[in-house]
Structure 1
Amino acid sequence: MTTVVVDRKVNTESTVELTGVSHWYGNVVAVNDVTLTIGPGVTGLLGPNGAGKTTVLHMMAGFLPPSQGTVTVGGQSAWRNPDVYRDLGLVTERESVPGYLTAWEFVLASAKLHGLPNPAAAAERAIGIVEMQDAKDRRISTYSKGMRQRSRVAAALVHDPSVLLLDEPFNGMDPRQRMHMMDLLHRMADEGRTILFSSHILEEVEQLSGTVQVIVAGRLAASGDYRHIRRLMTNRPHVFMIQSSDNRVLATLLMGLESVSGVELEPAGLQVRANDYGTFTRTLSKVARDKGIRLTAVLPSDESLENVFSYLVAS
């Protein structure tokens, strides 16, 4: 499998790095020779069920040792190193929230476990961040799943971490809660924090982050901005929807180009399949200009995260 990687600059003070990492359970290889760097901003971790996403997250969180390679958070080894949690916040997919506690008691306990100098103030701040003030004194057992999830996020944020790992953070949240959480993560990323989250809902990843790490069959299949990843996939034609002042004439002209493998005239315009993204986009404008045709829309129609993910999984 060829890994598609798009480089980006990162702040080494708040990065998560995997170098040549593998992990196996007996004879089963769950993660195979993965090397990646996650820096400030929001990054989505994607992969089919059983691809190794949770194993990767658990190694980052120090729950599992790498069978091979190294895993560091902020330059420190994650395995058997509680000190990484001074700068790391974690929300696991599996709920482990004691229902007999209130959200206030739960978040306050987290603040005390971190040894914060003013745990009550830290807990109050974290609860305010996730907008749980009105319900903070109710027992967690009375909460909806979305409210329990927000309580867990508050506990993970109580010590103001620079790195945040979230496994399916939007589970159970209603649309308003989901939008608020997305806004919160964007704000935290703008402050320079490193946020990695996994989600099986591609629309959530697309709305929250253009940057992805894609794990397929235990290997890193792609890394970077998914739009750039799509443009590097030379083995699949690029699909464009084009509208112009004369679609019929333009279709005839485009069918003669080497970079074009197919043209279809549709009610919405021309659907064009191009073998080379860069060559086609450069040639298109020249052909249209030479023939006096005005281009009104040129839209890549298969650059959605859903398309990119399906191509990677199928390859």
Structure 2
Amino acid sequence: MSQLELTNVSRWYGNVVAVNDVTMAIGPGVTGLLGPNGAGKTTLLAMMSGFLAPSAGTVTLDGASVWRNIEVYRTLGLVPEREASFGYLTGRQFVVANAELHKLPSPGAAAERALEVVDLVEPASRAIGTYSKGMRQRVKLAAALVHEPSVLLLDEPFNGVDPRQRMHFMALLTRMGEDGRTVLFSSHILEEVEQIARQIEVVVAGRHAASGDFGAIRRLMTDRPNQYAVRSSDDRALAAALMRLPSVGGVGLQGRRGLEVQVTDFGAFALALPGLAKQEGITLREVTPTDESLESVFTYLVSS
């Protein structure tokens, strides 16, 4: 079980600051790295994988610096967004070459295992230059997995992947996280992140904006009212009663969809609602937060 740690990490290019004083820890499980385009995600992944030196601060894997430390590649795998020009190699040759670089005792057998994991055994004898974008993503993943790393870093791994391949990718990353590996992937498709990673790290304009379970992050945003969808046996009567609660900022009738409730104090609302409904003789049928999705949390963080 491995852990990546960044401590006061910055990276600048001349007068341009790409990453500014970021501190975070990435442990076992699946973590999503989020941020708008140009936020610094790729720069962070490059420093975590040891391909780019921090201008300030430290990046360590299990306590050891990753910069100029080839030993970290025994336990670390990287799937970059950019593609190297190896179109003349077959998929199998490319993965075997990576196994040989890791000095594995049986490069061929290790390559076959990795190709099987990413469902690429059959087309592995074809040149990479003939592959679709999704197949090129899979062969890069096979190369990163060939030495069975305990830490896997992926930069936009779902780009160009068809729906069936995407589901396979998601299941694979989920399984790796459940097995205790440390998996960090960046993505601009929030729905994909939400399906496989409750833990998120958010960077905005090079700064670390938030860290943790995105539902918990949302509940800590006390400056923004929580939104709830509420349905009951008598929505109009419940709306009138809710407006008497100090923890409720507003109530809107949504016809058959029930009520839309703005809550200014999540804890007080959760405690008061059941008692209020019982007092009014109203049966609660649904109480659902509508802005605890990853998309809502991300939007709030980026716009704040």
Moved more, 297-306 or 25-34: 25-34
Partner of 2:179: 191
Q: What amino acid is aligned across from residue 241 of structure 1 in structure 2? A: A
Counterpart position of 2:137 = 149
Q: Does 2:209 correspond to 1:221?
A: yes
**Aligned sequence identity (%):** 64
The answer to whether the aligner puts 1:24 opposite 2:27 as a matched pair is no
Matches of 1:94 and 1:162, distance apart in 2: 22
Is it true that 1:89 corresponds to 2:67 in the alignment? no
Alignment of 1:101-140 (within 5 A): 101-140=89-128
Alignment correspondent of 1:310: 299
Distance in 2, Cα, partners of 1:68 & 1:283: 49
Opposite residue 254 of structure 1, the aligned amino acid is L
Q: How does 1:52-67 map to 2 (within 5 A)?
A: 52-67=40-55
For residue 97 of structure 1, report the CA deviation from its aligned partner.
4.5
Asked whether 1:169 is paired with 2:157, we answer yes
Is it true that 1:281 corresponds to 2:270 in the alignment?
A: yes
Q: TM-score by structure 1 length?
A: 0.95
Distance in 2 (CA, whole Å) between partners of 1:158 and 1:233 is: 42
1:194 to partner: Cα distance: 0.3
Q: State the partner residue of 1:201.
A: 189
1: CA distance, partners of 2:85 / 2:221: 43
d(CA) in 2 for partners of 1:222, 1:114: 36
1-side partners of 2:62 and 2:118: how far apart?
25
Q: Residues of 2 paired with 1:130 and 1:295: CA distance? A: 46
Which secondary structure does the structure 1 equivalent of 2:173 belong to? helix
Partner of 1:3: none
Q: Which runs of 4+ in 1 moved over 6 A?
A: none
Write out per-residue CA displacement over residues 47-102 of structure 1, whole angstroms, 9 at most, x where no aligned residue.
01111111111110111111111101222211111111100000101011501111
What aligned pairs does 1:223-262 form with structure 2 within 5 A after superposition?
223-262=211-250
Counterpart CA distance in 2 for 1:172 and 1:313 is 25
Number of residue pairs matched?
303
Within 1, Cα distance between the matches of 2:274 and 2:230? 11
Mean alpha-carbon deviation: is it higher for 146-155 or for 278-287? 278-287
State the one-letter code of the partner of 1:33.
Answer: D
Equivalent AA in structure 1 for residue 278 of structure 2: R
Equivalent residues of 1:97, 1:152 under 8 A apart:
no
| CA root-mean-square deviation | 0.9
Give 1:229 shift. 0.5
What is the letter of the counterpart of residue 188 of structure 2?
H
Return the alpha-carbon distance in structure 1 between the equivalents of residues 199 and 295 of structure 2. 13
Cα offset for 1:109?
0.3
TM-score of the pair, normalised by structure 2 = 0.98
Task: Choose from 146, 168, 171 the match for 1:180.
Answer: 168
1:6 corresponds to: none
289-298 or 122-131: bigger deviation: 289-298
1:180-228 residue CA offsets vs partner (Å, 9 max, x unmatched):
0100111111110000000111111111211110001111110011111
Quote the residue 1:5 is aligned against.
none
Give deviations 1:120-142, integer Å, cap 9, x for gaps. Answer: 11001000000111111011111
| 1:79 is the counterpart of 2:67 | yes
Task: Tell me the residue number matched to 1:51.
Answer: 39
Q: What is the rounded CA distance, in whole Å, between the counterparts of 1:276 and 1:82 in structure 2?
A: 51
Task: Return the alpha-carbon distance in structure 1 between the equivalents of residues 268 and 11 of structure 2.
Answer: 42
Q: 1:241 touches 1:269 (CA, 8 Å); kept in 2? A: yes
Question: Which amino acid is the alignment partner of residue 92 of structure 2?
Answer: W
Match in the other structure for 1:299: 288
Indicate conservation of the 8 Å contact 1:260/1:272, yes or no.
yes
Q: Supply the AA of the counterpart residue of 2:302.
A: V
Tell me if structure 2 keeps the 8 A contact 1:238–1:302. yes
Quote the offset at 1:314 in angstroms.
0.7
Separation in 1, partners of 2:273, 2:234: 14
Amino acid at match of 1:40: P
Shift of 1:25: 1.2
Structure 1: gaps of 5 or more residues: 1-12
Distance 2:287 2:89 in 1: 55
Mind listing any 5+ residue stretches in structure 2 that lack a counterpart?
A: none
